[in-house]
Amino acid sequence: MLKAAIVAAVCALAAVALGNTWVSRKADGAIFPTAREVPKRTFAIVPGASVRPDGSLSTALLDRLDAALELYQAGTVQRILVSGDAGDNHEADAMADWLIASGVPNDRITRDGAGYRTRTTMEHARRLGIVDAVVCTQAFHLPRSVLWARHLGIDAVGLVADRRWQDHQATDRMREAVARTIAMIELWLE
């Protein structure tokens, strides 16, 4: 029984390592550390992150929005898609409100209130007719985000949106390792 548990644990760790390597390689050359390097695209896609019960945005979400705003102000993108959970805190609406308060016209913002996970955000973006985009999210999340966008037919690149310290970086990275493995399995099963 102990041997079986050890074998299962080793197999699980190997799957996670394989998933992380595979997803990272699929995004090679498509992730940029600064806005100056990002090629022009029509849309910036901002995946959701938590909005607190009081309506304030998490630092992770502020970083993502700052990155999209920088691209918009530089003329690198013409429009911004905000995507998040439409639950109690209405992420997409909170994100749009922040962008509007920062000077982005409402008619330049598209809202997706059903972006429950990275894959659905990219599926909705494609259904909305988005064919090229810059994904604005944290470095740990970009390879999987770009992978899903490209898989769904969007000519996507990513901009690293790490601007503030995140208290939960270790947890985010562990969660992302599992999410990358799941993405690899989902894509292989399609």
For residue 150, pLDDT over 80 is answered with: yes
Sheet holding 132-137, edge to edge: 31-32, 155-160, 132-137, 43-47, 79-83, 109-112
- Structure confidence at residue 133 (pLDDT): 98
Instruction: Give φ, ψ of 136 to 5 degrees.
Output: -110, 105
Q: Is the dihedral of CA 63, 68, 74, 76 positive or negative?
A: positive
- Structure confidence at residue 115 (pLDDT): 85
Which CATH number covers residue 155?
Answer: 3.40.50.620
Residues 164-184 have pLDDT tens digits of: 666 666 676 667 666 666 766
**Domain of residue 93, residue span:** 2-189
Tokens of 144: 């999987």
Task: Provide the total of helices (H) and of strands (E) in the chain, helices listed first.
Answer: 6, 6
C-alpha 74/C-alpha 91 separation (Å) is 25
Q: Which residue has the higher pLDDT, 29 or 95?
A: 95
Q: How many domains does the structure of the chain reveal? A: 1
Task: State the average pLDDT over residues 41-48.
Answer: 96
For residue 58, pLDDT over 70 is answered with: yes
- Structure confidence at residue 13 (pLDDT): 64
The model's pTM is: 0.84
3-state secondary structure at position 106: helix
Closest CA to 31 of 117, 122, 139, 118: 139
DSSP 114: B
Residues 97-137 have pLDDT tens digits of: 999 999 999 999 999 988 888 989 999 999 999 999 999 99
For residue 2, pLDDT over 90 is answered with: no
Contacts 24+ apart (CB under 8 A), 12-17: 15/181, 16/177, 16/178, 16/180, 16/181
Query: Mutual orientation of helices 169-189 and 118-127 as an angle, nearest 10°?
Result: 60
| Confidence band for 52, pLDDT divided at 50, 70 and 90 | confident
